Amino acid sequence: MTWFDESRLDDERALTGIDQLLRSLAASGARVRREAAGALEPLQEAVRRAAETGRPRAVVAAGPDSRLLRAVLEPYCPVPFVAWPAPGLPGWAGSLDLVVVLAPTGSDPGEASAAAEAVRRGAQLVVAAPEKSLVAQHAEGRDSTLLPVEGGDTLAMSILMLTYLNSIGLGPEADADKVADALDDVATACSPHRDISVNPGKILALSLADSLPVVWGGSVLAARAARRVAESLRRASGRGAIAGVADDLLPVLEAARPRNVFDDPFAEEKSSVRPVLVILDDGATDPIMVEQRRLLTEAADTRGVRVEVVEANASTEVARYASLLLQGTYAAEYLRLGLVADD
């Protein structure tokens, strides 16, 4: 049987066991700054080239990691935007279009085929990939720009590409320094050296210890962060965690049996796992999102379901997304640390 030992979250010996992982999370902001600085000159060259060729007919974001770009760009991009996670490119993509590729490792054959196809068709191509990698080699061409990265950090690479797209008028602000500052703020707040009473990552982990996380984000980016956080929670705990739109999550909350003050909490714990509603709040004020949040919280309150709110107060949408994602990742790792199995 697995149970949650909250004392491990403040136990130095236990924390030592995940020290390298926590250090990697804490360095998220530094990686964003490092990737931005390392690719500054080629990024400026790509912007100059875009100014000469003019606005593209469409933007194709190729590769499995294109979905974050889609979440950011779709509400803003003034030209058609397509996320293409499959190998190669859509049949219509050609010399009038811009193709961007995120290649975290640079070794994926599908990403390499997309880059090679863009070169063959004469499209404008901007690739973020490690130098001398498979993808970088296939991206060599007259109309191509390689944004060299160390690789491995998809968020840092995405910020780099979003900075480029913002610079040519195809996306919202994605200032790398602002994103890095937001990540640094989360790392400070969720530091393993901060006590569980004031550490938002540890507090959220404790709230989810014996529960089914139901994660909701209202805006497009918050919804993507919710899906990523739910994935992290599933990996960390080996238990269920769900994310989705309000219509999908409401039945889960409504199915929870209302709490009764006379219930035996230990008996209830053995019989079923109660949901906990986790709201990722990026400050969106769209009336539809506000109404969806109201419906979810009212359903939770009616049935005595706990509600946890994770807030992001950064100055840009992309920075708020990064903040929510990192807070959820910290919570997942603290949840992993606190779960212990009986011998």
Q: What is the pLDDT of residue 266?
A: 55
Tell me if 158 sits within 8 A of 321, measured CB to CB: no
Span between the terminal Cα atoms of the chain, in Å = 8
* Predicted confidence pLDDT, tens digits, the chain (343 residues): 789 999 999 999 999 999 999 999 999 999 999 999 999 999 999 999 999 999 999 999 998 888 889 989 988 899 999 999 888 999 999 999 999 999 999 999 999 999 999 999 999 999 999 999 999 999 999 999 999 999 789 999 999 999 999 999 999 988 999 999 999 999 999 999 999 999 999 999 999 999 999 999 999 999 999 999 999 999 999 999 999 999 999 999 999 988 765 565 555 554 468 999 999 999 989 999 999 999 999 999 999 999 999 999 898 999 999 999 999 999 999 999 999 987 6
Tell me if 103 sits within 8 A of 87, measured CB to CB: no
Which pTM value belongs to this model? 0.93
Q: What is the pLDDT of residue 262?
A: 58
DSSP 149: -
224: closest CA among 232, 212, 216?
216
Q: What is the largest CA-CA distance in the chain?
A: 74
Residues whose CB is less than 8 angstroms from the CB of residue 211 and which lie 6 or more positions away in sequence, other chains included: 273, 274, 275, 276, 306
Amino acid 84 reads: W
Q: What is the pLDDT of residue 343?
A: 61
Using DSSP's 3-state secondary structure scheme, residue 81 falls into strand
Tell me if 332 sits within 8 A of 215, measured CB to CB: no
Q: What is the pLDDT of residue 234?
A: 97
> CA distances (Å), 74 to each of 68, 78, 95, 124, 128, in order?
10, 9, 22, 20, 20
DSSP 97: S
Q: What is the pLDDT of residue 260?
A: 63
Using DSSP's 3-state secondary structure scheme, residue 214 falls into strand
Q: Is 256 left (phi over 0), alpha (psi -120 to 50) or beta?
A: beta
Strand partners, 217: 280
Q: What is the pLDDT of residue 310?
A: 98
Structural domains in the chain plus CATH codes: 2-28+179-341 (3.40.50.10490), 40-148 (3.40.50.10490)
